[in-house]
Structure 1
């Protein structure tokens, strides 16, 4: 059962590029510091810290200068989930099973374990400040995130509210997981990613396998638009089924091209949240 309090695993995410934070953490940061791997020796004139003097390197210096050890800087970052709560995101979610809530709670858990801060931006056509959360490290955060998200499946059409709330992201580069089905016009997708240009964006595509596995070869199929509530009957036949599946593959390939152009491949969240698959994706360069 997926619920608050569920055991969660650590996720090996990382920030592409150098962090700009000042608080000590685990992410590679700009400049030299005191808590990372050894980088090189430097002059004590550049780094006036007697605690870092390397006696051996100083003795062997042909110019007789005092040498100090310089280390790689490590810093904390902010990790955000930008969550699409438009109506099309309501499929496959219930009171006890909610793959989106599982995913977001797992990311929050990993952020706290890595000494980072976690924040949430959630909206559809309207901002959802009752669900959103500023970056924090407070106790009980993963369970709170699970409860907030699982209690709201989303409604309405469009992403106007989500785009408006992106201004609340920090100016400093953060790791931002964008969670959506991405069933939007290409111009809206480009606007969404363009507004996140200063962030390190890790997309997560939410989709249902029923689109590919439960389409009959022949018969009446009732379709429903989760954003507008509109329903219609379609006479499914072999040629139409093949065309639908081809469009689904073409859409996924087009999304993949857009995401790679903006820096990272997407993770497919299909039907349920699989922590092991997500870990493999992050290790392979997806986050």
Structure 2
């Protein structure tokens, strides 16, 4: 008589959705490369004053428009300021503007979309007409008008970018909340008298985390480009404060483009590399949080 013994399997705990998303993200090679690149850029921008001898506005009259050398690794600009120091300071400013404007626009978009999705037809209709109004305005003209009203500087640039960016997120959050409000746990919470803030914090944010994370990453890249565009037009960060946009603005003359390419090549390359890296991260996060990825 044969005795069958069932093997004792060492059961491993199942991975949660966040762990599976992180595994998918780190399996995405372009996303990991983008994360490494942007980490290096942020690290260098935040610490350059500890390892570099020059400040962004230090003027060396002996090195006006000097090419890359052992003293000035990336050369100097038309008034003798070190390009590397201004590039690192410009990274600080550009990333600060992009990150802060992302948080503000994410807050506005989430609140408007959540209130519209969880409220009645009247509030939903009014909120969506506001979103439609903002989205139908020509973005370039709207951007220039806001910038001319708000003025130049870090804070006005953050305000302008924030006011331009929130409607897209509001629509995505509203679509998610229209589906969410029909779920049994939300209906039960409402039946028990849960307030709107409780519904947003307890059920709304956890069920929108994928939208918010992907939006945040892509909005940072959009914010860097918008800041660079405004500064290039003279409506964003005003000199002598450094940003990648006004560095390109200072080097826009034909004489500089032809004879001193390091004055525009390095800020232009940094702008392109940073935006590409953040877009790779955003694409990786979008794929990582896509529930259909578990079916592959």
TM-score range, shorter chain: under 0.3
Q: TM-score, normalised by structure 2?
A: 0.22
Greater C-alpha Rg: 2
Indicate the structure with greater helix content.
Answer: 2
Q: TM-score, normalised by structure 1?
A: 0.22
